[in-house]
Structure 1
Amino acid sequence: MTKRDDGESGERWSQDVTEHSDALDLEEDVFTWDDPARIAASLKRSAEASERRKGSPYQSAMSMLTFYVNRAGKTLPAAQREVLERAKDELRKAFGRD
């Protein structure tokens, strides 16, 4: 993966990946929602609809969610981190992997 530098936005590369993923078309602000089931359902729809992903829909959805949580690091508020961790559980359920 190469760093995309458009010279104007000043976005971090991880934010750029989240917003312009080559594998999944994500709903806007999906990682800011407060409903873990809604986040999981959105990621599942995106992964299943994608023809560009390299792994299974489950792998792609979980990878994007994990990527976001890991890259947000300390800047992710504890309450939102908890929502996203619960979204991982919901994603496992949605794909029958609980």
Structure 2
Amino acid sequence: MHLARSCGSRRSKRREKGEASMARYSRSASREVKGAMERRKKGTLKRGKAGRGGRVTSRKQAIAIGLSEARKKGKKVPSRRSRSK
């Protein structure tokens, strides 16, 4: 059975009128992710170092790879979430 969620999100904060929000990701970082998505569609995006892990087919994994590449190039991208133990 699917339960309905409440309308408000815990993370969202109300902003005052006229207050500009800071972008979480830079435009160049989103281009990096877009490039990874295109490589996934083409079938040339590979897993792991030197691409020995095989081809990536998962959309989520392609986004993660794009963000990782953007981080390595020093683009504005939030740091990775810490893994739970």
Shorter-chain TM-score: what band?
0.3 to 0.5
Q: Look at both structures and tell me which one has the larger radius of gyration over its CA atoms.
A: 2
TM-score by structure 2 length? 0.34
Higher helix share: 1
